[in-house]
Amino acid sequence: MNFLITGSNGFIGFHLVNFLTSKGYKVYGIDNLSSTSKKTQKLRSDILRKKKNFIFYNHDLKKKIKKKLIKKKINCIIHLAAQPGVRFSKLWPNETLENNIKGYINLLDFAKSKNIKNIFYASSSSVYGNSNNFNEKILAGNNLTSVYAVSKLTTELISNVYHRLYKINFVGLRFFTVYGSYGREDMAYYKFLNQIATNKKITIYGKKNFKRSFTSVSDVVLCIYKLLLFFKNKKKFNNIFNIGNPEEISLRTMISTIKLNFPSRFKEVYLKEDLSDVDITKSNMTLFFKKISKIKFMDFDDGYKTFIDWYCRHILKCKK
């Protein structure tokens, strides 16, 4: 089975490529290497370059993908490429929409030209907006707080249309705050360590009682793999699943974990709350557990300690 993974050199893409190639699958990767996480992206790319079952194409999805780019048969596309970042989208809405919507449509047209019928694509918990109900069956979009969320909800709607018109099968993946090694430097769990290492302080928007379903990237990859196996022989499907740890963790708890496990002391600097942020996310995995499989998610305390250890060894180059 051959996979095409867009955003292959991004955070989740990198870990998924590693996982699938270790299982013996052939993986083709597309990435424009434009991540703002420059240091971490280089670490990822250096590792992927050595993979035997991985072939990489440097391509920007904002440009049409030529049919001849990948001559081999592709059985399934896993679309992870995007312009991430809620706050980024507030500053640069046009760039966010062009990357996430135009890029996706170009990918779908490529799939049509290659007669690829199965596409798994990254959505986001942000489509729930400021809501207390995180069930996939509710009508998402009523309380959106960011342009990024709009772009992700739009990809879901586009997928529904392409499923109806062109008989392409889809699985949407609503990710909840993914963290882990080789991650995104703009996310709080990573950014705080960078801030402490450079100027001994962290910047907090609003209050420390915001809560998130922090989800280990290893659990995300496992969920994706279980979905791939479940839908492998299905002829027709168009589904959306939450992918996230059902246990929500407060920002206060995350900062306490840093204080206990990071080798440097730091100060906390408070800034005005950003209106594009949501107060809470809490993944509801009922549908996944019922239809696909039950899994035990990694405890955040254990997962974040592991990340801090990785950061100290690979970024600070020290032994913790």
Domains of the chain: 2-180+214-243 (3.40.50.720), 188-211+247-280+298-314 (3.90.25.10)
Best CA proximity match to 176, nearest among 204, 213, 210: 213
CA gap 224, 171 in Å, rounded: 10
Give the CB-side neighbour count of residue 305, counting CA atoms within 13 A.
8
Helix (H, G, I), strand (E, B) or coil at 39: helix
Q: What percent of the chain has pLDDT over 90?
A: 81
Rounded average pLDDT over 99-108 = 96
CA distances to 25, 35, 76, 110, 118 from 68, rounded to whole Å, are 21, 26, 17, 10, 19
Res 141: pLDDT: 62
Res 138: pLDDT: 75
**What letter would DSSP give residue 297?**
P
Q: Where are the alpha helices (DSSP H) in the chain?
A: 11-22, 38-48, 86-91, 93-97, 103-114, 147-166, 188-199, 217-231, 251-261, 286-291, 300-314
The residue to which tokens 């955040």 are assigned: 300
Structure tokens, 256: 């306490």
For β-strands 2-6 and 26-31, DSSP reports them as parallel
Burial state string for 155-177 with b = 16 or more CB within 10 A and e = fewer than 16: bbebbeebbeeeebbbbbbbbbb
Residue 91's pLDDT band (cuts 50, 70, 90):
confident
pTM > 0.85: yes or no:
yes
Q: Are 22 and 95 in contact, with CB atoms under 8 Å apart?
A: no
CA gap 254, 188 in Å, rounded: 9
Helix/strand/coil percentages in the chain, nearest 5: 45, 20, 40
**pLDDT tens-digit profile of 257-287?**
999 999 889 999 999 888 788 889 999 999 9
Residue 71's pLDDT band (cuts 50, 70, 90):
confident
Burial class (CB in 10 A: 0-12, 13-18, 19+), 63: exposed
Q: Are 15 and 217 in contact, with CB atoms under 8 Å apart?
A: yes
**pLDDT tens-digit profile of 211-264?**
999 999 999 999 999 999 999 999 999 999 999 999 999 999 999 999 999 988
Distance of CA 96 to the CA centre of its chain: 15
What positions carry a catalytic annotation? 148
